[in-house]
Amino acid sequence: MITLKSSHEIELMRRAGKITAAARALAGEMVRPGVTTQEIDSAVEHFIRKQGAVPSFLHYNGYPASACISVNDEIIHGIPGKRVLAEGDIVSVDVGAYIGGVHGDCAATFPCGRISPEAQDLIDVTRQSFFEGIQFAKEGHRLLDISAAIQEYVESHGYSIVREYVGHGVGAQMHESPEIPNYGHPGRGPRLLRGMTLAIEPMVNAGSAAIQQMSDGWTVKTLDGKWAAHYENTILITDGEPEILTAPAI
């Protein structure tokens, strides 16, 4: 069942969203050659706790870290560790913060030093596909209107959409109904209503859409070894334009 959030719950989600977005920004600032993924994870956890929140991902279904940090051909759910980032890498960071009984959830892919034009284009297209999708995140539209817009934009640039993992509702639970694929046919799915809070998260591969699950039980990589990018925000359906609850503070 899709839950519509009250005005009080929305205020709580705005607070969780700000903390989550700030944690993502901190992680992005730390992405540079010579830094380990564990160092980024530790800083993210420290920051979230300093705000009075709890890292949403830590121990979630047994996940061992506070952030998912996925490098190059890793699509999602990369476990932070001793890996040292190198010049030219691209680094996807997915974070969540829980405070006041609700979660925020967001992700982005960051360049490590100077990266290739091809890698930058992958990052840019993935990010923009989110904004193409949320043009349809308005009351009265159908859920898959968002999905179809993301797919059309990504594929028009020659990239592939990951099929096995999707966006989701978010609120008191990290993953709520509905599931939100990044592909599909417009005009289908539940009708969007004000008060819905949704995590929209395109996961885009430079090569084929095929994936492989690593032996750690978490990390998901591209099957062909080509690189991938990820971008996500938590949004609120309103009576007008969608509100990005995890918008970067500018």
C-alpha to C-alpha distance for 229 and 71, rounded to whole angstroms = 9
The strand pairing partners of 234, in sequence order, are: 199
Question: Quick one: pLDDT at residue 249?
Answer: 66
Question: Quick one: pLDDT at residue 72?
Answer: 98
Tokens of 144: 């898959």
Question: Quick one: pLDDT at residue 131?
Answer: 98
- Among 101, 121, 103, CA closest to 111: 121
How do residues 66-112 score in pLDDT, each as one tens digit?
A: 999 999 999 999 999 999 999 999 999 999 999 999 999 999 999 99
Q: What are phi and psi of 117, to 5 degrees?
A: -60, -35
Please report which helix (H) or strand (E) contains residue 92, including its range. Answer: strand 90-99
Positions in the chain whose pLDDT score sits under 70: 249-250
Instruction: Map out the domains of the chain with their CATH numbers.
Output: 7-244 (3.90.230.10)
Residue where the block lists tokens 């539940």: 190
- Model-wide pTM > 0.85: yes
Residue where the block lists tokens 């190059």: 72
Instruction: Work out the angle between the directed axes of helices 7-30 and 37-50 (0-180°, nearest 10).
Output: 150
Residue 156, helix vs strand vs coil:
helix
